[in-house]
Amino acid sequence: MAAGWPPKLGAVSQEERAQGIFSEYATVELPGEHTIEVAITAPAQEPGAPRTAVPTILAVSGEAQHHVSRFFQSWRAENKGWQVIIPLRPRDIQDLFFMDGGFPLVMATMENLFSEASIAPYDVEGGKLVLVGTSNGGATVLRMAAKMPERVAALNLVTGCNAGGFDLRPLDQIVGGDGRCSIRLYAGDQDQFSHDTALRELHQQLVPILEKPGLQLTILPGVGHFDIGQG
């Protein structure tokens, strides 16, 4: 991607910009055989500036996965020196990203970030991503991490589940900068879709698999499926 960021602004209201609550984002199209738009939030970059590496989060929204989650925008990543990459499911693809029909699109996005044709304005610091997913986005990043654990520094499910019963053994290969296998699972005890139960089960499945420390399960009291990212 050429220096000079962002190329255009995304759909954030004037009121939200004035309040400074949500990040703005730009939308670019992934090159290659997989046609998919990707939303990006990143620190401003002057034209002609040398390309540098920053902490990089690949985040996957829940629901229909056509949108940028307000939860992700609330991080204000551009003020923290992070870049956030959010794949948006094409409307002509019926399968969600964790399903077989949608999964190649998110994997193509992940692989692109480590290529010379990267759509991101910055390189990936340390050559590894932080993965974050909400709801079925949590199921997506779980499958992504199991598919390419060597490119993952940390895995975070903010609700989610092992929706496809995927092989979890590769997750032991996740190693962060501190040498730990950083996998964090979050749900509320009032989750309307029982993701708290699903993540408890996932936690139990992971305990005998992971040899390195770093697995953490957090169940938040009084929190439901739709408000977990609002606190």
Secondary structure (DSSP) of the chain: --SSB-SS--S--HHHHHHT-S---EEEEPPSSS--EEEEE---B-TTPPP-EE-EEEEE-STTS-S--HHHHTT-HHHHT-EEEEEE--TT--S-TTSTTTHHHHHHHHHHTTSTT--SSSEEGGG-EEEEEETHHHHHHHHHHHH-GGGEEEEEEES---TT----GGGGG---TTSS-EEEEEEETT-TT-HHHHHHHHHHHHTTT--SS-EEEEEETT--SSSGGG-
Task: State residue 230's pLDDT score.
Answer: 62
CA-wise closest residue to 150 among 183, 174, 117, 124? 174
- Could you read off the pLDDT tens digit of each residue along the chain, which spans 231 residues? 434 444 443 444 566 556 656 787 888 888 877 789 999 999 988 888 899 999 999 999 999 999 999 889 888 898 889 999 999 999 999 999 999 999 999 999 999 999 999 999 999 999 999 999 999 999 999 999 999 999 999 999 999 999 989 999 999 999 988 888 999 999 999 999 999 999 999 999 999 999 989 999 999 999 999 988 764
Q: How far apart are CA 138 and CA 228, in angstroms?
A: 13
Tokens, residue 92: 């002509």
Task: State residue 23's pLDDT score.
Answer: 81
Chain-centre distance for alpha carbon 222:
25
Task: State residue 13's pLDDT score.
Answer: 55
Task: State residue 120's pLDDT score.
Answer: 94
CA-wise closest residue to 42 among 15, 69, 3? 3
- Sign of the torsion formed by the C-alpha atoms of 33, 62, 20 and 81: negative
Backbone phi and psi for residue 6, each to the nearest 5 degrees, phi listed first: -95, 155
pTM value? Answer: 0.91
